[in-house]
Amino acid sequence: MSNDRIGNEEEPEIIYIPDDEGNEEEFEVIMKFEVDGSDAKYMMVVPVESDEDQEAEEVYAFRYEEDGDDLKLYTIESDEEWEIVEETFNTLIDEFDGEDQD
């Protein structure tokens, strides 16, 4: 399983995703990973907001494909695919938290 985590030393990766009205919203990519046994790539993003009072950040997951400089995002629609992504994300977060405690 490969994963790319943005470390504290690196500049965050920012992407822009249009909402239902066509307005582009800014998101920070917090993690990219591939699922074992699949060619599918996934990314987890959080909105970049100026509202500092927000208690918990909402995390969004997308399947993505890169075509040169173009990034194509796809929503995760099946429950089965969502469960795989959620399980992989939680495992990677647990591993990352374990590294921080060492």
Residue range 47-60: mean pLDDT, rounded: 71
Q: Summarize pLDDT for 23-36 with one digit per residue, the tens.
A: 999 999 999 998 87
Three-state secondary structure call for residue 89: helix
Parse the chain into domains and list their residue ranges.
Answer: 3-101
Long-range interactions of 75-78: CB distance < 8 A, separation 24+: 76/42
Q: What does pTM read for this prediction?
A: 0.74
